[in-house]
Amino acid sequence: MGRIVRKITLGKKKVLALFDTGAERSYITRGVLPAGAKCSRIEPVDVAMGGEVIRFAERCLVNGEIDGLPFDFNPHLGEKPFMIDNKRVDVLIGAAMMEEWNITIDPKNKSLNLSGLKKRSFVEL
């Protein structure tokens, strides 16, 4: 398992995101949710985080960028940020989202490998 903290862009905000291969789902705090993000109620999910159980009952469609490369994801919406290495982290990007966009972690260098995301090209017909 690995985890990396990096800045991403959500709308006009730059926020810290934790890329965590040990987390299946992705999460975002309400305070950094970009304007226009679509959220909907879901069957509540209880998740153990930071020594407590947190209930998530909303999920959103969020557009973002990392190093200028666009992506979208469906994080569960929460209220409280996470503290990682004394840094406020408002987004947790889980393994499912990383797999979808072919983002991998290089634990040796403690970095993200975005080569799969860079290779993606989109053609509108």
Evaluate whether 32 touches 91 at the Cβ level (below 8 Å). Answer: yes
Q: How confident is the model at residue 48 (pLDDT cuts 50, 70, 90)?
A: confident
Summarize pLDDT for 19-40 with one digit per residue, the tens.
999 899 999 999 999 988 999 9
- pTM score: 0.87
Please state, in angstroms and rounded to a whole number, the distance separating the CA atoms of residues 17 and 41.
Answer: 23
| CA distance linking residue 85 with residue 124, whole number of Å | 42
Q: If you search the block for the tokens 């975002």, which residue do you land on? A: 28
Express each pLDDT in 75-119 by its tens digit.
999 988 888 878 889 999 999 999 999 999 987 888 898 987 877
Per CATH, the number for 3-119 is 2.40.70.10
- Residue spans of beta strands (DSSP E) within the chain: 3-10, 13-20, 27-29, 38-49, 52-66, 69-73, 76-78, 82-84, 87-89, 91-93, 104-106, 111-113
